Amino acid sequence: MFVNDFQERIFQTLPGQGWHVLIDQGEPSPADAGDGQPRFFHEPVIAFVTARMTDEKRRDEVIIAPLVRGAGTGELDIIDTRGGTDKVLYLAQGEQLTDAHFAQLEDFWRKGVTRG
């Protein structure tokens, strides 16, 4: 087991096998935008990890999430969408990024899908 700086305990890793994630972090603050921070990131998945994390109510949860190297920091990041701030779209190996993917992020919660 590996424990990172945020006390997230990683139990297992599986290779990313060519998967990518398109991450919409929302509009950056004016200061971040001035520094050139983009709204979208397209990152290769290094691994899918099984990790035990603590939620806002201090309860432990086990999640499976992609591990990527952040473009801005170069650090390894677990993409945890439980907080609901980031929108993530997965692209399979060999799938080319298109404008349609960005449109899917805009229409993130489609009709018939309830947000938990």
| Dihedral (CA of 107, 78, 7, 13) sign | positive
Could you report the per-residue pLDDT of 4-53, keeping only the tens digit for each?
Answer: 666 677 877 888 889 998 888 777 788 877 777 788 888 899 999 988 88
Where would I find the beta strands (DSSP E) of the chain?
A: 2-3, 9-15, 20-24, 40-54, 60-69, 76-78, 87-91
pLDDT at 104 over 50: yes
pLDDT at 113 over 50: no
Is the pTM for the entire model greater than 0.75?
no
The confidence band for 116, taking pLDDT boundaries of 50, 70 and 90, is very low
Q: Alpha carbon 30 to chain centroid distance?
A: 22
Domains of the chain, residue spans: 2-106
% pLDDT > 70, the chain: 80
CA distances from 18 to 64, 75, 89, 102 (A): 17, 19, 14, 20
